[in-house]
Structure 1
Amino acid sequence: MSGTPSRRTVLRGLTVTGAAVTGFDPGARGWAATTAGADSGSVTEVARVPRLDGTLGTDDPSLAAAADDYGHIVHRRPSAVLRPGSVRDVVAMVRFCNDHCVPVAPRGQGHAPFGQAQVDGGLVIETATLADIGPLGPGSTTVTVGAGARWSTVARATLAHGLTPPVFTDYLELSVGGTLSVGGLGGQAHRHGAQVDNVTELRVVTGAGELVRCSPSRRADLFHAVLAGLGQCAVIVEATLRLVPAPRTVRRYQLTYDDLAVFLDDQRVLVQDGRFDYVEGQVQADAAGTFGVFVLEAVAYGPPVGPAPDDTALLRGLRHDPASAHSTDQPYYDFLDRLAPVIAAMKAAGIWTYAHPWLNLMLPGTSAAALGARILGGLTPADAGPGAVVLFYPLRGDRLTAPLLRSSDETVSYLFDVLSAAPADDTAAVDRLLATNRAAYEATAATGGTHYPVGSIPFTPADWRTHFGPAWPALESAKRTYDPLGILVPGQGIFG
């Protein structure tokens, strides 16, 4: 596309529901459209829309859907929604938007809780159509997938060859591009790092509309600015993921504690000695209606990855209540997708439509018990809302290598999640939970922790500079280089 846009528009193979988008009016800052059968020659003084393989939607249902997300708290209405038919469409439209200073945000499965993938008056790119999964065969060590592919689909495709990505988020119906933009943490991260630590190459479209392959040895500055970079420098369109042998079955242990500090200490032991492949924990309500029951979840992989699990060896030295401990053997994929029935029940109960002002923090290991007790002490299960979940993931700092995925500087940190819910129309409850989140973040930051940026914490550009710390200069430089007009993902609020 030339740097000087055409001032007369023609329709070139682009369709939407109810109207044909023919161009963009820079003066009115809006998309020009003609109804079916109208004389395209009557549309003048607008910049020509590129030829696309997919569709560009300006219909109300498309715009309304893109102005919402899983959080149901923030609502920013775009002016158009791109459903790309190819990577070429993403290149063409990002370049077009850069030429006309139109903000752009990619959207995977719409699971952001605080408007991160929304854009007021701009273009939303729905990446779900970019979901190809590359060929696999004997001896494969990687797989290349489209950014819109869901992790559930990737898992099923690789398991057909006895292989698996090493790290999964607990909910599998998220897009690859979405989780790589934030980090991608799960119970296996203490052993393999985050999902961003298991990417060997990316294909991205920069804010200037350049299609680039990058890796640790090729355009490394861009590679490291994109992984956990919150979409600030480029749109991920394809990722090459590391694969490891997959187990056929796993043994899943659930161990109960009544003391938070003991529970966290045992989690620390398990991730430091590496006896389990997956370690996580949940906090549940006790009989008094407070968050007082702590359940450690640990999983050992069976053959061909490891030997048949030995209960005595795996549980040796732990301080849980032996009477409440239990274990379950199940197929590997069933374990990965264990939330599917829970999510189905939430949807059936209407909880999926609630507001979700989530809190996601990275707690320093030495402060985790005190911080966790402080935050949970001011929050009851009733306050957190129906279906609320509280989680602790222990993480080893030496396994988290992506520069922009921030944790504490300690050997072990804990990802602490309070996944709250409130009726979307109960603004008082939502505001109260958002204020609670902000206070919890400030207490965490005062001890050297930070947040995992998938939640709902009101943040300023100054907060973001503090969050990224020593990684900020590299991100700022990459932003200037690869998105010089600052059109990408303004919903994060990082650069003002």
Structure 2
Amino acid sequence: MQERESHAISRRSIMTGLVAGALVVGLDPVSRNWVTAAHAGGPFDAIPSLDGTLRTDAASLAAAADDFGHIVSRTPLAVLEPGSVGDIAKMVKFCRARGLKVAGRGQGHTTNGQSQVAGGLVIETAPLDGIRIRADRAVVGGGVLWGALVQAALAQGLTPPTLTDYLGLSVGGTLSAGGVGGAVIHHGAQVDNVLELQVVTGKGDVLRCSPTLRKDLFDAARSGLGQVGIITEAVVRLVPAPATVRRYNLYYGSVADLTAAQIAMAEDGRFDYLEGSLAVVEGGHTFMMEAVAFDATPADDAALIGDLTHTSVTIDDLTYWDFADRITPIVGILQAIGEWQRPHPWLDSIVAASAVDELVTAALPGLTPANIGLSAVLLLYPIPTAKVKAPLLRLGSAGEEHAFLFSLLRTSSPGSADPAAMTALNRAFYEQTRARGGGWYPIGSNPMSKADWKAHFGPAWPAFKAAKTKYDPSKILAPGQGVF
């Protein structure tokens, strides 16, 4: 209650000009921009003119106070719908001068309030939606959805090398986290396929960065959780796109059999994409490796899977687009039955290969509808650690050749445990994985302390902290992450 009261007081103070009797802030009914006026003889300090819109209506604030997780709620003072990158720079400078926190928000697909800010400014990046295809690269706004980028690239016979399963996410959002997908076995994560970024720093500076220009900013912005800047544009590498996908769903009898097959195939390189999944079924669980070959034919089956040991297999053929966008129809179903709108206390742990069989197998008895919900998805991605180059995309401390992303995408469904109980289970699993050399992929629901974050970033922490001090010295950016 005390925190809510302090936020309310802060908002009321700013909006009515009671801060030192110096400033009146209101909403111009014509421009919908904040405007200021002298008050009680105080100095005139105008809100900058904007190309876009600064919203303070209740509906906009309520939307920005929520996210996909529906667990944490923090209400901002205002929401910026920018008409230009200049708007973002102006408002970051405005907020810094007044000690107001700022959070960038793409699709709000965070699950623990990471894109929220209490008593500050939320900046929507969705209006930054430009796409330009140039030979082997795409120049895209930070708010562009990966689905839109894939469609634009496919028109030129191209595709980003690595895609996450769900394409309804923003480019800036996934690049701030990492962007892990089944093609990581060949191409690394999405952050490993960025050639250049434009960011608005915590000082309000609009800066470009790359491996040869402001490398410290480039390294801190990729997988940097929005701590040094809001990604407003990215230059993304493109590769030739396949026309078709031949997908093999290979079933195994245990976690150990599945992970052994995944590691062998990641090292072998015969497949273009590898992912794994677990499913809760009556009487136990199923363990499936999804292995994909681009532009393969039935004649290739013997070469691709003839020497693999599996209990059963299903094979299907898809267009590349239908494969890339395969989650969208599932999302439609989840929305129709109400599961998409329910709380999502997601677990996303990085597990060392040496510990994955033991830890995941031990977790199986707890994977009941009561603890994971009615529409949970359980994924197990193999990650050859040498393929991940971005310094802030941490894969634990084990230093092994392989790691796994274990994603337990829980939903707090009717009759299931509440979000707090599910989050507690996430924390317990995270501590087990960390003790065995693993870590955390920071998109899920697992409140992290500053000490946790320092341990998470490990040897990359000093450079990250230095970049934070240099580019966001007032520490106003992305407070919902709790890093600094």
Please give the TM-score of this superposition, normalised by the length of structure 2. 0.92
Please say if 1:300 is aligned against 2:293: yes
Other-structure match for 1:417: 407
- Partner Cα distance (2:30, 2:174) in 1: 42
- Partner Cα distance (1:411, 1:373) in 2: 21
Shift of 1:431: 1.4
User: Residues 26 and 188 of structure 1: is their aligned pair in 2 closer, same or farther, counting only changes over 3 Å?
Assistant: farther
Please say if 1:480 is aligned against 2:469: yes
**1:374 alignment partner, one of 362, 370, 379:** 362
Identity between Structure 1 and Structure 2 (%): 48
8 Å Cα contact 2:382/2:403 also seen in 1? yes
Q: Encode CA deviations 1:430-488: one digit per residue, 9 max, x unaligned.
A: 11111100000000000000010000012100000000000000000000000000000
**2:211 alignment partner, one of 191, 210, 216:** 216
Other-structure match for 2:225: 230
- Partner Cα distance (1:232, 1:443) in 2: 27
- Partner Cα distance (1:464, 1:22) in 2: 35
Letter in 1 for 2:411: A
SS at match of 1:431: helix
Superposed, 1:229-308 pairs within 5 Å as 229-288=224-283, 290=284, 292-302=285-295
Letter in 2 for 1:86: S
Please say if 1:388 is aligned against 2:365: no
User: Residues 110 and 29 of structure 1: is their aligned pair in 2 closer, same or farther, counting only changes over 3 Å?
Assistant: farther
Please say if 1:362 is aligned against 2:350: yes
8 Å Cα contact 2:370/2:417 also seen in 1? no
Q: Would you say how many aligned residue pairs link Structure 1 and Structure 2?
A: 463
**1:351 alignment partner, one of 331, 339, 354:** 339
Runs of 4+ in 1 over 6 A off after TM superposition: 21-25, 28-31, 306-309
Other-structure match for 1:190: 185
Superposed, 1:307-346 pairs within 5 Å as 310-321=300-311, 324-346=312-334
Please give the TM-score of this superposition, normalised by the length of structure 1. 0.90
Q: Encode CA deviations 1:228-279: one digit per residue, 9 max, x unaligned.
A: 0000001100000001000011101101112110111001111111110110
Shift of 1:125: 0.3
Other-structure match for 2:10: none
- Partner Cα distance (2:72, 2:178) in 1: 22
Q: Encode CA deviations 1:200-239: one digit per residue, 9 max, x unaligned.
A: 0000011001110100000000000000000000110000
- Partner Cα distance (1:366, 1:41) in 2: 60
**1:47 alignment partner, one of 42, 45, 49:** 45
- Backbone CA RMSD of aligned residues: 2.2
Shift of 1:366: 1.1
User: Residues 34 and 310 of structure 1: is their aligned pair in 2 closer, same or farther, counting only changes over 3 Å?
Assistant: closer
- Partner Cα distance (1:79, 1:205) in 2: 20
User: Residues 460 and 286 of structure 1: is their aligned pair in 2 closer, same or farther, counting only changes over 3 Å?
Assistant: same
Please say if 1:202 is aligned against 2:203: no
**2:164 alignment partner, one of 141, 164, 169:** 169
8 Å Cα contact 1:107/1:126 also seen in 2? yes
Superposed, 1:104-143 pairs within 5 Å as 104-136=102-134, 140-143=135-138
Letter in 2 for 1:411: E
Letter in 1 for 2:321: Y
User: Residues 403 and 308 of structure 1: is their aligned pair in 2 closer, same or farther, counting only changes over 3 Å?
Assistant: farther
Please say if 1:70 is aligned against 2:63: no
Letter in 2 for 1:113: T
User: Residues 199 and 348 of structure 1: is their aligned pair in 2 closer, same or farther, counting only changes over 3 Å?
Assistant: same
